[in-house]
């Protein structure tokens, strides 16, 4: 699953690329290499800008820099570099100016309007979101109500043992749980029974606190989950402030936790 922001960026890039190629062919101007260079430079810059911002986490596992599945991008940096390169190409070759200028204007317009739309949807969802009130079950058979975790910031991870990205991110979340006692980390398994979950934990050598069972998937339904894994971040008052769809790396988790901490401090 791709986050809405990434979808907006991809739509902006694809539209700009299509327009540039179409206008170039109409004017019989070769813009293909310029467009490819702009797209590649923008994508690389977006990744590198994010990696530099969270370099401590990435340097602990350097190969994770290559794993773009973690969603670690800085779209503003990518679009900025893309626009700068398009300007440079246009200044060097007058024939490229119109195709590239129109394409970049279209891309920036889609990015701006799309970002506003995503922000409005997120604001509405976050305003309605809160820790669910109904009880779940621990591996020991005890009833636990998610709303009882209010009082401290809470990271709620919805996962399943058959989900490859869930399995990959679980050690990262386990380490964060050990290193951040100021934050509740709650793992709610969706659709599996205690035997399945216990067997998975034993096979992987994972020891997790606040692991709960939701065999009917009520938590996913109440929070509007659309993919595995999904991680929800709640403030100390139990209000939803952030959602991450897809796999987390140490860096992208650090980014979300920084957002959560900043939100707490600004109250």
Nearest of 118, 113, 115, 104 to residue 13 by alpha carbon: 104
Q: Which of 69, 101, 127 is the last residue of a domain?
A: 127
135, 248: one domain: yes
Domain encompassing residue 173: 130-265
Lowest mean pLDDT among 1-10, 82-91, 111-120, 248-257: 1-10
Q: Tokens for 97, please give them.
A: 């100016």
Which is it for strands 184-190 and 143-145: parallel, antiparallel or unpaired? unpaired
Of the pLDDT bands very low, low, confident and very high (cuts 50, 70, 90), residue 238 is: confident
Q: Beta partners for 214?
A: 190
Which is it for strands 211-214 and 135-138: parallel, antiparallel or unpaired? antiparallel
Q: Which of 87, 105, 127 is the last residue of a domain?
A: 127
197, 99: one domain: no
Q: Which of 127, 148, 172 is the last residue of a domain?
A: 127
The answer, yes or no, to whether residue 118 has pLDDT greater than 80, is no
Give the tens place of pLDDT for each residue, 18-31: 999 899 899 898 89
The answer, yes or no, to whether residue 128 has pLDDT greater than 70, is no
Q: How far apart are CA 221 and CA 132, in angstroms?
A: 11
Q: Beta partners for 240?
A: 234
The answer, yes or no, to whether residue 3 has pLDDT greater than 70, is no
Give the tens place of pLDDT for each residue, 204-215: 999 999 999 999
The answer, yes or no, to whether residue 124 has pLDDT greater than 70, is no
Of the pLDDT bands very low, low, confident and very high (cuts 50, 70, 90), residue 123 is: low
Quick one: pLDDT at residue 58?
A: 92
107, 148: one domain: no
178, 218: one domain: yes
3-class DSSP string for 53-74: HCHHHHHCCHHHHHCHHHCCCC
Quick one: pLDDT at residue 129?
A: 64
Q: What is the mean pLDDT of the chain?
A: 89
147, 114: one domain: no
Quick one: pLDDT at residue 1?
A: 57
Lowest mean pLDDT among 13-22, 40-49, 120-129, 160-169: 120-129
Quick one: pLDDT at residue 234?
A: 93
Quick one: pLDDT at residue 121?
A: 66
Question: Which residues are CB-neighbours of 41 under 8 A, at least 6 positions away?
Answer: 81, 82, 85
Give the tens place of pLDDT for each residue, 31-76: 999 999 998 999 999 999 999 999 999 998 898 899 888 889 898 8
57, 146: one domain: no
Please state the pTM of the whole predicted model: 0.81
- Map residue 186 onto helix, strand or coil: strand
- Map residue 210 onto helix, strand or coil: coil
**What's the domain count of the chain?**
2
| Cβ pair 167, 69 in contact under 8 A | no
């Amino acid at each position: 699953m791709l986050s809405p922001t990434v979808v907006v960026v991809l739509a902006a890039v694809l539209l700009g690329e299509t327009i540039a190629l179409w206008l170039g062919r109409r004017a019989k101007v070769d813009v293909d290499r310029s467009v490819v260079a702009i797209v590649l430079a923008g994508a690389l810059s977006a990744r590198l800008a994010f990696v530099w911002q969270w370099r401590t986490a990435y340097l602990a596992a350097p190969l994770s820099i290559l794993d773009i599945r973690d969603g670690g991008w800085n779209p503003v940096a990518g679009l900025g570099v893309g626009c700068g390169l398009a300007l440079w190409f246009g200044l060097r070759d007058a024939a490229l100016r119109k195709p590239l200028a129109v394409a970049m204007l279209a891309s920036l317009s889609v990015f701006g309007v799309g970002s506003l739309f995503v922000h409005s949807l997120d604001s509405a969802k976050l305003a309605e979101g809160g820790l669910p009130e109904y009880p779940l079950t621990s591996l020991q058979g005890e009833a636990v109500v998610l709303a009882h975790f209010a009082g401290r910031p809470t990271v709620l991870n919805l996962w399943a043992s058959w989900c490859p990205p869930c399995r990959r991110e679980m050690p990262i979340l386990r380490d964060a749980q050990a290193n951040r006692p100021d934050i509740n980390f709650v793992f709610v398994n969706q659709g599996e029974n205690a035997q399945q979950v216990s067997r998975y934990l034993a096979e992987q050598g994972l020891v997790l606190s606040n692991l709960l069972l939701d065999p009917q998937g009520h938590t996913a339904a109440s929070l509007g989950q659309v993919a595995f894994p999904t991680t929800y971040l709640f403030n100390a008052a139990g209000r939803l402030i952030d959602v991450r769809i897809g796999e987390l790396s140490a860096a992208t988790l650090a980014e979300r936790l920084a957002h959560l901490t900043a939100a707490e401090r600004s109250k």
